[in-house]
Amino acid sequence: MKKVLIMSASTGGGHNKAANAIKNTLENNNIECEIIDSLKLVNSTMDRVISKGYEKSAMYTPKAYGKVYKLSDINLISRNEFKGNPLAKIMAYKFKKLLRKKNPDLIIGTHPFPMIALSDLKKHSVENRTSLDIPPLISLLTDYTTHSTWIQNEIDYYIVANEFVKELLIYEGVNSYKIKPFGIPVESSFFENREKSIVFEELELNPNKFTILLMGGSFGAGSIKEALEDLLDIDNDFQIIVITGKNEHLKEKLQKINTFNDKKVCVLGYTNNMNDLLSHVDLLISKPGGLTITEALIKNTPMVIPYCIPGQEEENLDFLTNSGVALRTTKKFTLGVVVKYLINNPDRLKLMRENINYIKKVNSTSDILSLVNEIINHK
């Protein structure tokens, strides 16, 4: 049986969810598959430092995170120059043992860190003619933009979210034949959903009323409390579902709000029912993480973006607005103004849904499966 390793890392939820979606598809088609959390493989302390560091910096010091992101992407730090950093060197050492033990036919990376280390190994294996066999490498970019950490000469294929992202990689010098705009994969179960009447009855909501889904990220980042207060000041009649993710403190804080101005507000914590919710709400208000965008597009849900983490989410937002599927708020065009406009102009929401149909990718996992089969059967 052919074997595929998927290299991920727990910096945000999207990398692991994309990895799981691929794993399930490959295993359902008789391909042995294993997900390796690359940071945990190095050591548990480094995993906690980097994973928690990302989460905390995204929540509490987003501007600093954005500056680091942009600094690491400028031309002064060219592509392929990340191989010499200490983290890549440590990973490369660990990966040598892993590859000899697992002997995979293919490696797919949903995070750039392990792919830098593997590219380093592959480069030195070729240059020094070592006995270490490095299989073909595929990088799966989990945002609607690029970053120089993803770009390595030794990568055989890139799977990207959209043709826009393909053009960005071509501009950065990647050969077009290497780039597959298949989309970011999601679990097959996400394409299914229960009836609206059942879902809304569980939430004690009116299935006939305009409904807004308000959320941040997997750990509840974003100014959700302020956004909710802005929505409550709008005089239109609508209802709100709020998802606070794993941020229990935020959930408790929102539940203590004294008045919802005659609006029905349902506050949820972490949920596994995004397939149900996004299928039936009229509008999503959220930060633009790669997985959030993908799920909203699949469900044809227009978006309003009032907050984002500087860096890749800023660039994701550029993609959304360039594609005509989301509106961004500004100091002048506040969340209240934008949402009120959309409620009063349903044709604008209809146009956004039509634009979504032009760009969404619903066959990502099957396209990835075809590419994997093509590679491992001709190896």
Strand 179-180 versus strand 137-140 pairing type: unpaired
Do 196 and 63 share a structural domain? no
Do 105 and 69 share a structural domain? yes
CB burial of 333-345 (b: ≥16 within 10 Å; e: otherwise) equals eebbebbbebbee
pLDDT at 207: 97
Do 316 and 250 share a structural domain? yes
As a whole number of angstroms, the distance between CA 142 and CA 119 comes to 19
C-alpha dihedral sign at 135, 179, 154, 291: negative
Q: Count up the domains in the chain and report the number.
A: 2
As a whole number of angstroms, the distance between CA 233 and CA 235 comes to 6
For 54, the token pair is 């990302």
Of 99, 11, 33, 25, the C-alpha closest to 291 is: 11
Do 68 and 17 share a structural domain? yes
Do 301 and 203 share a structural domain? yes
Do 200 and 103 share a structural domain? no
pLDDT at 64: 43
Give, for 157, the enclosing helix (H) or strand (E).
Answer: strand 157-159
Of 254, 304, 297, the C-alpha closest to 274 is: 297
Contact of 126 with 101, CB cutoff 8 Å = no
Do 179 and 204 share a structural domain? no
What is the torsion angle, in degrees rounded to the nearest 10, for the CA atoms of residue 241, residue 242, residue 246 and residue 250?
-150
Domain extent at residue 273? 191-359
Do 99 and 78 share a structural domain? yes
CA distance between the termini of the chain = 14
Q: Which residues have C-beta within 8 Å of that of residue 201, sequence separation ≥ 6?
A: 207
CB burial of 274-296 (b: ≥16 within 10 Å; e: otherwise) equals bbbbbbbbbbbbbbbbbbbbbbb
Do 338 and 212 share a structural domain? yes
What is the torsion angle, in degrees rounded to the nearest 10, for the CA atoms of residue 169, residue 171, residue 176 and residue 178?
-30
pLDDT at 68: 44
pLDDT at 11: 65
Q: Which residues have C-beta within 8 Å of that of residue 48, sequence separation ≥ 6?
A: none
Q: What is the pTM of this model?
A: 0.87
Read off the CATH number of the domain in which 134 is found: 3.40.50.2000
pLDDT along the chain (379 residues), means of 10: 90 82 97 89 53 46 46 47 61 84 95 88 71 89 92 95 96 96 96 96 96 76 82 95 88 79 90 96 96 97 92 93 97 96 97 97 97 91
Do 206 and 151 share a structural domain? no
